[in-house]
Chains A and B, each alone.
Chain A
Amino acid sequence: MEFLQHILSAAGADTLRAFTVVPGFGGYFKGVGGITCFSCSRIVLAVGGSAVEVVGEGLSVGRFFAGDLFIQGRISEIRID
């Protein structure tokens, strides 16, 4: 975790808006304000002022509470606008 914190600090990233993807299992997203688009193959998240587009197969919301979101499914691509 210290190594991750070091990288994020060096990159100037906001940890509140970070995400972690486990291939073939799902992804964990922080600071999610809402979901603007939802389908089994594409979920668009509103994170801060930007939109995070999650593309994959069999996507579903595993859990969502207080800005913490877990997406289940095979995530193949993430785009940030």
Chain B
Amino acid sequence: MIDLTKISIVAPPESVVKKLSRANIAFFGLKKEGFSTTFCVGGKSIKKVFAIFAHPCYNICVLKYGALRSFALRCAARAGLIAGVALFVAAVSLSRLFVFRVKVVGSGSYLAPQVVTILAENGVREGSFCPSYDSPVVLSAIMRLPGVSFCSVQREGVAVVVDVECSSSPGVRPVYSPLLSPVAGRVEGVCVLSGTASVAVGEDVSAGDELISPQFELPSGESADCLCAGYVRIRAEASLSSHAQSRSEQSLSSALAAVRLWYDDARVLSHTVRQVSQGFIYTVTFTYIHTASINMQ
């Protein structure tokens, strides 16, 4: 019996025993301490004991409540503290279901805008309710970014930490500038892995025009700087001159062969023959595909 309450009463033990036994109240550890008698009763009998010794001549008091009642009284006295602790625990537990910060670390931290966008597409964005996410999908999407060799996504409390590591060969450094067209011509193909395409297929471009810009559009509509990666195929026009001793079919074939020697996919548009003092100059005008790329090593 653990819920025993210790009571002290100023009365002779004989009288206490007589009254308690008459009321069929079990008591324990009855002792005489000076003028008072102390004993223990079960928690349910406290009211009955006080009723028996209700007369003012008995000075009765509780010395110590039982374990259960003491615990209840202590809890009641500290209700505010307990409520605060419970609230704190609940807040901490609930906060783990939210994401308040997305942090990209590692050598591939320059890919942060793309990583943040990939996470956002999978429901992980700052300030959002996110009890879980599809980790394999996120990891595979990040691993598809250019140069990424390792990736891990971990939750650290209210933060999501993405470790992105990029493998770069010695001497190959990422270029942070936009991709500019080295030649004039017509765009035949665009492939952008990172950044934003500035031209479309079929569009004419001049030398120096921007082909891929190092900007990235966030889901919020704002643009952020990023690393360009991709290539653009441009059909450009060029001419090649070669010298021949005589004007003949063989000389023309040699001039065309010289063109194909440089460009396999050359399409000959026209050719001209000009006579000079020491023979003939064959000039072949043709188009070829020039591929401009950035960060594709």
Contacts and interface: CB of A to CB of B under 8 A. Distances in A.
Contact of A61 (B12, B17, B25): B17
Contacts of B30: 60-61, 64
Interface in B9-34: 12-14, 17-18, 20-21, 24-32
Interface residues of B, number: 17
Interface stretch (A3-11, A15-23, A30-38, A47-55): A30-38
Contacts of A60: 29-32
Nearest to B37: A38
Contacts of B31: 40, 60-61
Contacts of B21: 34, 64-65, 67
Contact of A34 (B18, B25, B26, B32): B18
A63 B17 contact: no
Contacts of A39: 32
Nearest to B1: A63
A37, A65, A66 pick with most chain B CB within 10 angstroms: A65
Decide if the interface of chain B is mainly helix, strand, loop or mixed. Answer: mixed
Contact of B17 (A38, A62, A72): A38
Given A62-B29, A64-B30, A37 B24 contact: no
Interface in A54-78: 60-67, 72
A66 B23 CA distance: 10
Contacts of B216: none
A6 to B, nearest CB: 32
A8 to B, nearest CB: 25
Contact of B32 (A40, A62, A67, A72): A40
B39 interface: yes
B18 A64 contact: no
A35 B27 contact: no
A35 B32 contact: no
A53 B254 CA distance: 142
A63 B26 contact: yes
A60 B21 CA distance: 16
B24 A38 contact: no
B27 A34 contact: no
A38 B14 contact: yes
B25, B30, B31 pick with most chain A CB within 10 angstroms: B30
A67 to B, nearest CB: 8
9 contacts: A34-B14, A35-B17, A38-B14, A60-B30, A60-B31, A61-B30, A64-B30, A65-B21, A72-B29
Interface of B: 12-14, 17-18, 20-21, 24-32, 39
Given A61-B28, A63-B26, A63-B29, 17 more contacts: A34-B14, A34-B18, A35-B17, A36-B14, A38-B17, A39-B32, A60-B32, A61-B27, A61-B31, A63-B27, A63-B28, A64-B17, A65-B21, A65-B24, A66-B26, A67-B21, A72-B29
Interface of A: 34-40, 60-67, 72
